[in-house]
Structure 1
Amino acid sequence: MSELPFDPIEMMRQHPEKMRIPGGLLTKQGPQDYVGCIPAITGTLFFTNAHLPEVREAICACFDEYEAVAKAHLTWLWREEPPEGPDKFAYAKAPPMRAMVKRMKENDLLAFTYTSGEQPHDAGEWEFDVSGMRGWEAKMIVRGTSALRFSLPLLFVEENPTAFQAMFVSFAKRLNALHGYGGHGLVLSAVRLSDNQPFEAFLADKLNGLDVGNPVAGATHAHEGIKTVSWLTAVNYEKVEKVGGLTVLRSELPMDWFALYDYGAGLVIQAGPTPEAAPTDHLRPARLVLPNMLLKEVRAPMVSLHYGSKEGEPRLNGWAAEQWLKRFDIDDAELMAYKTKLLDEPKLTETTTLPDCL
């Protein structure tokens, strides 16, 4: 079930535009005639109070910013449990997000997924997905948080080396994000998640730098701490203080390799000039190991990633999910070796760093 007719790592490196994975590839039914998932650079942010008018306006402002770049590529809009109207629109015929949001009540589920797939169920490398908790859910703190995830194509990020960072920091500021992360990920079919999680699990076994799990699942435990570190990692100031404050961050994360951006409610840490896939057959990159060890104290104790396995197909849940959380953990005795290893890793450059870093 894990044998493929191609090397996904080499294809991602050399031909990312060809990495359109057939749906259901590692399920019992076998590959289907639609795009099940596609690699992209993805950013996920967890936040609260999505039932309040000012936060809903912030979500709309985030989409305005995303749409300004992605408009020509978007094709479909999916809505979950819309209070009125259909759950699917062709993007060109969809009402503006702000108009739909203004008609919603506090206890309506705010859930929009804009995609760029050719067919409604195809995954596309341009995607904007937000799931905002209902008012009554938001008032029950134990139920998790709201989440926003956006993606940009690999080649777009390569050709626009600060576009992703700028958008991620901007969204974090608008949403007063609790925390979040951004880097390599797979965009799965918005309406066929379960059938495509097995390939995500397979690829995660090859790439430590790959994000795993959909934002709604990640939000389940987001109130308990951060999910992971990545190329970009957002942490609010409460968590920054728990790990020793800004002075400790600057001391442990040297500025030649790590940039710090203030987003009002917290900091975004950029680790290195470009996203790191971190193949599992290589030594783990120090620029991910070091922030992981620094922020380990504020990591959520558990995480929800995938649905349960139906036919023995690969999934990340239970013990496997716990191991994924710990994939950048090392013994304290190894820290100095990784600090030395950092010296040989790519440094930040002026063209890959936002101008307003701390």
Structure 2
Amino acid sequence: MTQIVTSFSPLTPTEAIGRYGHELTFADPSDGNRIVIRPALIGTLFFERGSQPAIRQALLHCFDKFRASYGDKLSGGRMADTKYSRKTIKGIESMRQYILSTDVNYAAEFVFCDATDYYTAPEYLIKSLTARDYHETHYGDLSYIKFILPWSFAEREEGLAQYHAFMNFCCTTLPVRGGYGGLSAVLPYDFDRYMPMEYQLAQRFTGLEVDSWAFAESRQFEAGYIKSTNWYTVLGEPFVEKLGGEQTVRERLAREDIDIERCGNALIIRAGRFPLLGAPEEGPLDPYIFVNRVIKGLRNPLRKSMHSYMEGVESFAEEETRRWVARFDEPDASMDDGTPQASRGMSALPFQTCPHSGRWVANHLGNQIVHVKAGDVMPGPERSDAGNQVVWHLIHDAI
């Protein structure tokens, strides 16, 4: 097998946020400059038998563990069909009892976070949606749990250790089928109108996890597939067996910067000491590519879209989704469609020289689209009315 040598110059999380924080954070000028997109660390896991009392009790342990660590930050949320609200001690206890007492034939859904409304992107969050007993029994439905911690946790060893400890706790406590974790652009609970921005950020920064539709990813794991590769890739026993067993996985991923840990009935694979943003100057993310070589056969080659349909804007429809999940494949991989890589994820600031002819969009200017020729000056203003740094993203090459 030919070894492909590439340049790899990783940014630490501190360097990445210092250089690109203005692109990764968005205050919506139409909503009082509320923060609706923010960068953070996320973890998403899919687990079995979420309807059953014993697993609900295990889920409550995860809830309580998160609350014990970050309870002073958690002030709002919702459960079942209720609205977001500020949570008092009484409200938190009601949420705890709801997790345990919901009938097995009904889904238990909760969100507990630092936001007290649907419209603000949270920094601290734990949420879950469990399957119903009938659907688990007849269709193999899975439940999911997701947590969010601030980007600052990725900047220091103590924060990374806390992230790992909670991921480890969930994998040990719950019957996990699989999951993933890493850096992500976090959207509010009311996320739909911001999906085009999530799409643009994911084109620009390959390390960002696309997770606004996290609940829908259970369909992939139910069908026997994983989502993709990221900093953390969690493989339940069925996936480990497909790869030839734990020993084979460990042998194939034996490298100093790859960590593999057995947690309950799952393997946690960590690609590198800290998560990577995947900015253009970092080059191909070598640790992620290395892990992807081993696990890419677990992906669904015919998977569906990661976004709902939105007319007139770019988002993760089926073709775009399949390209994204294959972003760490080698250049000669079967899913490479021959599109010039240089134009993917390209961006420019106002008044800079345009690097590539085509159509450009500025999310911070209400998704304004302009056509600019290479060598011309990118249009202004430098900042939006809300004070956001304007960034132009290439969406189509010139024909």
1:31 shift after superposition: 6.9
Matches within 5 A, 1:193-204: 193-204=191-202
TM score, norm. by length of structure 1: 0.80
| C-alpha separation in 1, matches of 2:230 and 2:208 | 8
Structure 1: tracts of 5 or more residues without a match: 1-8, 334-358
**Unpaired segments of 5 or more residues in structure 2?**
1-13, 334-399
CA–CA distance in structure 1, aligned partners of residues 43 and 73 of structure 2: 18
Total equivalences in the alignment? 313
Answer yes or no: is 1:219 the counterpart of 2:218.
yes
Note the alpha carbon deviations across 1:199-242, whole angstroms, 9 max, x for none. 11110001111111321121122212111121111101221122
Could you say if the C-alpha distance between residues 125 and 235 of structure 1 is closer, same or farther in structure 2, counting changes exceeding 3 Å? same
Measured in 1, the distance between the counterparts of 2:144 and 2:305 equals: 14
In the alignment, the residues of structure 2 paired with residue 193 and residue 267 of structure 1 have an alpha-carbon distance, to the nearest angstrom, of 31
Asked whether the 8 Å contact 2:154–2:275 carries over to 1, the reply is no
2:86 to 90, 95, 101: 90
**Residues in 2 aligned to 1:135 and 1:329: alpha-carbon distance in whole angstroms:** 38
| 1:324–1:237 Cα change, 3 Å | same
Q: Which moved more, 1:109-118 or 1:180-189?
A: 109-118
Distance 1:138 1:193 in 2: 28
- 1:162-220 Cα offsets, whole Å, 9 max, x none, are 11111111101211211111100122111x11011111111000111111132112112
Equivalent AA in structure 1 for residue 27 of structure 2: P
Match of 1:291 in 2: 291
Matched with 1:49 is 49
Q: Matches of 2:23 and 2:209 in 1, distance apart?
A: 20
Does 266-275 or 245-254 show the bigger shift?
Answer: 245-254
Q: CA deviation at 1:19?
A: 5.0
Asked if the contact 2:60–2:100 (Cα under 8 Å) also holds between the matched residues in 1, the reply is no
Which amino acid is the alignment partner of residue 134 of structure 1? R
**Cα–Cα, structure 1 residues 303 and 168, in superposed 2: closer, same or farther, change >3 Å?**
farther
Moved over 6 A (4+): none
Kept in 1: contact 2:84–2:116 (CA 8 A)? no
Q: Secondary structure at the match of 1:287?
A: helix
Q: Which residue of 1 aligns with 2:349?
A: none
1:244-264 alpha-carbon deviations (Å, 9 max, x no partner)? 223332332234111111112
Q: Supply the AA of the counterpart residue of 2:35.
A: V
- Secondary structure of the 1:100 match is helix
Structure 2: how far apart are the matches of 1:118 and 1:88?
A: 6
* Other-structure match for 2:273: 273
Task: Write the distance in 1 (CA, Å) between the matches of 2:180 and 2:287.
Answer: 14
Give the whole-Å Cα distance in 1 for the aligned partners of 2:202 and 2:175: 29
Higher RCO, 1 vs 2 (CA within 8 Å, ≥6 residues apart) = 1
The change in CA–CA distance for 1:60 and 1:331 in structure 2 (over 3 A counts) is same
Asked if 1:189 is matched to 2:188, the reply is yes
What TM-score do you get using the length of structure 2 for normalisation? 0.72
- Residue deviations 1:81-110 (CA, integer Å, cap 9, x gap): 3xxxx3333122523232122331112221
Shift of 1:54: 0.9
Distance in 2 between residues matched to 1:164 and 1:226, nearest whole Å: 21
What residue number does 1:305 align with? 306
**1:221 match: secondary structure:** helix
Partner of 1:247: 247
Match of 1:21 in 2: 26
Q: Aligned with 1:178: secondary structure?
A: strand
Change in CA separation of 1:60 and 1:39 when aligned onto 2, cut-off 3 Å: same
User: Which 10-residue stretch deviates more, 133-142 or 101-110?
Assistant: 133-142
SS at structure 2 position matched to 1:268: strand
Query: Sequence identity of aligned pairs in percent?
Result: 24
2:154 corresponds in structure 1 to 157
User: Contact between 2:113 and 2:125, CA under 8 Å: does it hold in 1?
Assistant: yes
Return the index of the structure with the highest Cα Rg. Answer: 2
Which stretch shows the higher mean deviation, 278-287 or 256-265? 278-287
* 1:32 Cα deviation after fit: 6.3
1:1-358 counterparts in 2 under 5 A? 12-14=17-19, 16=21, 20-23=25-28, 33-81=33-81, 86-92=82-88, 93-96=90-93, 97-117=95-115, 119-141=117-139, 144-159=141-156, 160=158, 161-190=160-189, 192-213=190-211, 214-224=213-223, 225-280=225-280, 282-301=282-301, 302-310=303-311, 312-330=312-330
